Structure 1
Amino acid sequence: MHGDSLKLLSKMNPECIDMVFADPPYFLSNDGITCNSGRMVSVNKGEWDKIGNNSPNVEEKHRFNRKWIKLCKRILKPNGSIWISGTLHNIYSIGMALEQEGFKIINNITWQKTNPPPNLACRCFTHSTETILWAQKADKKAHHYFNYELMKEQNGGKQMKDVWLGSLTKPSEKKAGKHPTQKPEYLLERIVQASTKENDIILDPFCGSGTTGVVAKRLGRRFIGIDTEEEYLTICKKRLETESNGEKEL
């Protein structure tokens, strides 16, 4: 769906979604620089990474996070769960917003990147991790689904830990077009397999280039994606068509 997540989420039926994966704006677009493929590039992502025409202050960011998280709670089934990805720029607000809006955090996953971009300023440690919070409704009657046995099997017969090691998104996953914060498919495969069953409905309110949708389709789940940028939805559709046609990404 093309549009504002806040508006579209408010129109959805309550308690209709099994799982939400959200990779919300990090609000990094502050005219700074970073490194991409060995080149110095702007950190600016686009107008969608701002509130209004300016980078937001702390209060504005937190209000935004509380709004969309509250709307996601309304549409989640009683036993549903939500996953939210972020960095130090927004994850602390996300964590507080989850608790304020009636969620209980199940896990704090650390995604450690094996090939992070170098730190150009050389005044701090290289930023090589992102945090993914997994939460359920803070209700004693809520019982989130967790495929413990599959996760243990994928981890060589041992309990899977909350630190996940892996590379950044492969170039082959960006053949349909590039998105500045595209998540790798293996990351979403683990999340979807761990917390949903076949035919469950997964919602991504900031779906970007559609990694959540591609993985949902591959694993026999149903998918709803929302984004404000038509350009990214076009990429998402191309990737879903490729997945439907059984074309393998190398």
Structure 2
Amino acid sequence: MVNMKRFPVRFKNFKPYYKTDFGRAFFADSIEFIKSLPKESVDLIVTSPPFALIKKKSYGNESSDNYVEWFIKNFAAEFKRILKPSGSLVIDIGGSWNQGNPTRSLYHFEMLLKLCSKDVGFNLAQEFYWYNPAKMPSPAQWVNIDRVRVKDSINPIWWLSKSENPKADNRRVLSPYKASMKKLMKEGYNEGPRPSGHNVSDQWGKDNGGAIPPNLLCYNELIDMMQQDNLLEIANTISNDKYLTKCKENGIPPHPARFPMLLPLFFINFLTEPGDVIFDPFGGSCVTGEAAESTARFWISSEIDEEYVKTSKYRFNSFKK
């Protein structure tokens, strides 16, 4: 039984910038901070590290030439060390283009292969895709001017596991049945073999409380109306949430590369239970922390930019130093 009144992780040499009922936010370089976390103390690492983009961003990002070495050298072994045997690592990692020509970099695939190599030892549990229909067309030269490529609107998400059998339960992320499925359950299937080789049994018509999501995740605007598969369709267009409103009121620029809360929320529900520990080493504006807090999971966030840590407090109703 988890003691929900006591934070389950102790830290060496680092003091939280602020605390919430379930969380601890740190102003720290994640390369050093992660070493303070105890062995096998984290159930899920879910994060969106700075991508290897051609154009440098204000929040800092490595070039595609150095990215894989930078990530593997500084994080791979430590991620594996702090994860519990049943734990998972979920990485939202956007693609990039090669400098000066309209061809794609393979850096994120190279990183995946390296993470799953014998030297590192992670397992690829499943790949997901985040489709952002509101994503800006980029690079503008190839998409808008020369018209030789279409808009790049997909981010791959790697779900990696420490063991071959990580904790997961798709019953926690069931989606409502569509009208056509409800009709089939009412009227019944035509049982028997199909040309594909599949055999449809009478169990296909059983009501399991919702549809099992494939690995393409499609969300509607409202979380209670979402339909999920392994393509996450989430338009990153929110402009009036609590965090952005507070930043505007205080005249503070918000973090420029926030991912939508529905993204970490799906994996938190799918791969953890209340009382588990979530860690985001590239905390940014603490979207992962807000998602974890809303589902009674303990969370830890480290962020190297103090201003981002300071403003991330706006996500929470109550916090303390």
- Report TM bin, short chain: 0.7 to 0.9
Superposed, which structure 2 residues align to 1:107-186 within 5 Å? 107-119=126-138, 120-121=140-141, 122=143, 123-137=148-162, 139-140=163-164, 143-154=165-176, 157-161=210-214, 162-173=230-241, 174-177=244-247, 178-186=254-262
Per-residue CA distance 1:50-96 (angstroms, 9 max, x = gap): 4xxxxx352x2111111212211110001011100011135223312
1:109 is matched by which residue type in structure 2? F
Superposed, which structure 2 residues align to 1:54-65 within 5 Å? 56=63, 58=65, 60-65=66-71
Q: Secondary structure at the match of 1:80?
A: strand
Q: Secondary structure at the match of 1:217?
A: helix
What TM-score comes out, normalization by structure 2 length? 0.64
Q: Secondary structure at the match of 1:132?
A: strand
Aligned length in residues: 221
Query: What is the Cα-based RMSD across aligned positions, in Å?
Result: 1.9
What TM-score comes out, normalization by structure 1 length? 0.81
Q: Is this contact kept in 2: 1:65–1:97, CA < 8 A?
A: no
Whole-Å separation in 1 of the counterparts to 2:88 and 2:260: 21
User: In the alignment, which residue of structure 2 is the partner of 1:80?
Assistant: 87
Whole-Å separation in 2 of the counterparts to 1:201 and 1:175: 28
User: In the alignment, which residue of structure 1 is the partner of 2:108?
Assistant: 91
Q: Which has the larger radius of gyration?
A: 2
Q: Is this contact kept in 2: 1:169–1:183, CA < 8 A?
A: no
Q: Secondary structure at the match of 2:288?
A: helix
User: In the alignment, which residue of structure 2 is the partner of 1:40?
Assistant: none
User: In the alignment, which residue of structure 2 is the partner of 1:28?
Assistant: 53
Q: Is this contact kept in 2: 1:107–1:134, CA < 8 A?
A: yes
Identical columns (%)? 23
Q: Secondary structure at the match of 2:174?
A: helix
Whole-Å separation in 1 of the counterparts to 2:89 and 2:152: 25
- Structure 2: unaligned runs, 5 residues or longer: 1-25, 97-106, 179-209, 215-229, 248-253
- Runs (4+) off by over 6 Å: none
Structure 1 position 47, deviation (Å): 5.4
- Structure 1: unaligned runs, 5 residues or longer: 31-43, 51-55, 246-250
Structure 1 position 199, deviation (Å): 0.9
